[in-house]
């Protein structure tokens, strides 16, 4: 039986500074995060003990590959909801806490947007009148620079990495039909003709099938092997090939279907037609460039399928998987059933009339908006006003966001999203992390994904390891916290 697909999303946000001073994006990002955490009682920093982003899942590092550097001197905080909020290079980045089902990830991804929006408001109150920091949830500056939205999934270490590569790649290449955030134009020339609109913000930036890099020669399957958990038992599959979505249906499907496909891979449920693509990198660009969805991609077998047809094949297998094996691996069977229904309805919509999904999917919503605006003003695709509209779709300022003006379908409500900015998910170790920070932050020196370090006034610091992502849940630790008034008492009860 596949292990529960604990998952989360890390989003690097775009940042623009409107100021006569030459404030660097790194400084602006620090100001932003500091302005937010200044509201909190006490800042708890990140513990870099277990960071090793250069480790490769294939068991070796290719010569010349470039693992990302860790910048320990930049702002880096852990929030009481179990999330990590930090400066990554020149961007503010928000990593949701570990969640145990796709809907929970969606709620925490939205909570991340709210944290960034509040940060922006807090930071702008500190700036002189007329100066402003503006945040965008997108992935490209339209000039060839991309920043990521990465998903993470807990995978059984026993599954061969090459099997994941073969069986997951066709899904990652084709899921952009619903998970693409839409982009006007292109940043990498392709097929010798000017491109008006693409499904994906990120497809332009993928050049390899498999690899360790995240900033150059980006691979469709990233091999970073940094489980942040018991490395004997688990992998953390680091998926870097997605767009940052604003549409809730898109985020739900992006994470949910990927988790489901991974569960099927883990349970050896990929019998049937071999869906391996002849050329995944060419295919991801070709699919992104066809808003009519008619382009067929070639499989290694020689068969040719559209992206939607390939998704139907995955869907049919998933229905069969659900019937024969159940949906336990998705953390919540009711959520998983809704996921399957939504996936089916969206594929139907894509097949019959993509416009019918303009209140559900980012790329469809954006394309509809752009087309209407272009028609009204008689604009060329190259007109700067369309490019501005593309960027402003992702603007997080409520007064400027174009996304916020569309009546997009919600799967969450405002109350649960607001709550998720401070409350951790109850069903993973993020719960223990969050509760510890809520209760005992003045005794916590540092925390990271798999441990918390306490200073309870003894000679040495005490590290509490959390190597099991599915332990430390509300069910496991609520009684532990009951009537526990000091961190020393907590540690005593933990027996450490």
Contacting positions for other proteins (CB under 8 A): 12, 14-16, 25, 68, 88-91, 93, 140-143, 145-148, 150, 214-215, 218, 240, 273, 301, 303, 305, 309, 312, 316, 344-345, 348, 351-352, 368-369, 372-373, 376, 383-385, 387-389, 391-392, 399-400, 402, 405-407
How many Cβ atoms sit within 10 Å of the Cβ of residue 440? 22
Report which of 306, 280, 285 is spatially closest to residue 295, judged by C-alpha positions. 306
Judged by beta carbon, residue 320 or residue 439, the one nearer other proteins is: 320
The minimum distance between CB 376 and other proteins, in angstroms, equals: 5
Please count the other Cβ atoms lying within 10 Å of the Cβ belonging to residue 129. 6
**HEC secondary structure over the chain:** CCCCCCEEEEEECEEEEECCCCCCHHHHHHHHHHHHHCCCCCCCEECCCCCCCCCECCCCCCCCCCCCCCCCCCCEEECCCCCEEEEECCEEEEECCCECCHHHHHHHHHHHHHHHHHHHHHHHHHCCCCCEEEEECCCECCCCCECCEEEEEEEECCCCHHHHHHHHHHHHHHCHHHHCCCEECCCCCCCCCCCCEECCCCHHHEEEEEECCCCCCEEEEECECCCCCCCCCEEEEEEEEECCCCCHHHHHHHHHHHHHHHHHHHCCCCCCCCCCECCHHHHHHHHHCCCCCCCEEEECCCCEEEHHHHHHHHHHHHHHHHHHHCCHHHCCHHHHHHHHHHHHHHHHHHHHCHHHHCCCCHHHHHHHHHHHHHHHHCCCCCCHHHHHHHHHHCECCCCCCCHHHCCCCCCCCHHHHHHCCCCCCCCCCHHHHHHHHHHHHHHEEEEECCEEEECCCCCCCEEEECCCCCCCCHHHHHHHHCCCCCHHHHHHHHCC
Q: How far is the CB of 17 from other proteins (least distance, A)?
A: 10
- Shortest distance (Å) from residue 283 CB to other proteins: 17
Q: Which is nearer to other proteins, 15 or 330 (CB)?
A: 15
Q: How far is the CB of 214 from other proteins (least distance, A)?
A: 4
Looking at the Cβ atoms of 200 and 473, the one nearer to other proteins is 200
Among residues 132 and 156, whose Cβ is nearest to other proteins?
132
User: Max CA-CA distance within the chain?
Assistant: 73
Cβ distance to other proteins smaller for residue 132 or 455: 132
- Going from the C-alpha of 46 to that of each of 71, 121, 320, the distances in angstroms are 11, 24, 43
Min separation Cβ 487 and other proteins, Å: 35
CB of 196 to other proteins, least distance (A): 16
Q: Shortest CA distance to 204 belongs to which of 141, 268, 132? A: 141
> Shortest gap between Cβ of 492 and other proteins (angstroms)?
42
Decide if 230 is catalytic.
Answer: no
Q: Which is nearer to other proteins, 38 or 216 (CB)?
A: 216
Cβ proximity of 477 and 438 under 8 Å: no
Q: Shortest Cβ distance from residue 292 to other proteins (Å)?
A: 16
Q: Which one, 222 or 427, has the nearer CB to other proteins?
A: 222
Catalytic residue, from 47, 56, 88, 204: name it: 88
Of 218, 178, 187, which is closest to residue 307 (Cα–Cα)? Answer: 178
Residue placing its CB nearer to other proteins in the complex, 42 or 400? 400
CA distance 183 to 375: 18
Nearest to other proteins of 73, 376 (CB atom): 376
Q: How far is the CB of 59 from other proteins (least distance, A)?
A: 23
Residues with a catalytic annotation lie at 88
């Amino acid at each position: 039986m596949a292990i529960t697909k604990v998952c989360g999303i890390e989003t690097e946000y775009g940042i623009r500074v409107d100021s006569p001073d030459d404030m660097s994006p790194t400084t602006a990002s620090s100001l932003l995060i500091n302005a937010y955490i200044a509201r909190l009682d006490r800042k708890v920093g990140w513990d870099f003990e277990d960071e090793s982003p250069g480790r490769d899942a294939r068991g070796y590092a290719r010569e010349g590959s470039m693992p990302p550097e860790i910048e320990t001197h930049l702002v880096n905080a852990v929030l009481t909801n179990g999330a990590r909020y930090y400066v990554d290079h020149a961007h503010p980045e928000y990593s949701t806490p570990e969640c145990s089902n796709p809907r929970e990830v969606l709620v925490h991804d939205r909570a991340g947007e709210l944290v960034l929006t509040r940060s922006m408001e807090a930071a702008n109150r500190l700036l002189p009148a007329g100066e402003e920091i503006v945040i965008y949830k997108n992935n490209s500056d339209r000039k060839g620079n991309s920043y990521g939205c990465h998903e993470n999934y807990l995978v059984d270490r026993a599954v061969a990495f090459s099997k994941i590569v073969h069986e997951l790649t066709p899904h990652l290449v084709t899921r952009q039909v619903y998970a693409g955030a839409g982009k006007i134009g292109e940043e990498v020339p392709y097929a010798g003709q000017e491109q008006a609109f693409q499904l994906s913000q990120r497809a332009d930036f993928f050049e390899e099938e498999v690899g360790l890099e995240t900033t150059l020669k980006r691979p469709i399957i990233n091999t970073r092997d940094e489980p942040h958990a018991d490395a004997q038992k688990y992998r953390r599959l680091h998926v870097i090939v997605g767009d940052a979505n604003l549409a809730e249906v898109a985020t739900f499907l992006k994470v949910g279907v990927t988790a489901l496909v991974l569960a099927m891979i883990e349970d050896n449920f990929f019998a049937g037609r071999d869906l391996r693509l002849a050329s995944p990198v060419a295919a991801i660009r070709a699919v992104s460039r066809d808003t009519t969805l008619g382009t067929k991609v070639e499989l290694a077998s020689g068969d040719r399928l559209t992206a939607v047809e390939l998704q139907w094949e995955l869907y049919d297998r998933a229905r069969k998987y659900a019937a024969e094996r159940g949906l336990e691996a998705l953390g919540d069977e009711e959520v998983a059933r809704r996921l399957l229904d939504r996936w089916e309805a969206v594929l139907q919509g894509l097949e019959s009339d993509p416009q019918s999904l303009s209140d559900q999917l980012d790329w469809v919503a954006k394309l509809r908006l752009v087309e209407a605006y272009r028609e009204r003003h008689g604009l060329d695709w190259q007109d700067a006003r369309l490019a501005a509209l593309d960027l402003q779709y992702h603007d997080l300022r409520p007064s400027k966001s174009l996304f916020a003006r569309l009546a997009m379908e919600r799967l969450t409500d405002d109350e649960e999203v607001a709550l998720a900015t401070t409350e951790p998910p109850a069903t993973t170790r993020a719960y223990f992390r969050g509760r510890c920070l809520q209760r005992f932050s003045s005794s916590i020196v540092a925390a990271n994904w798999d441990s918390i370090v306490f200073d309870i006034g003894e000679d040495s610091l005490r590290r509490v390891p959390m190597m099991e992502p599915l332990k430390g849940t509300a069910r496991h630790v609520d009684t532990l916290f009951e009537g526990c008034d000091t961190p020393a008492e907590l540690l005593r009860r933990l027996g450490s």
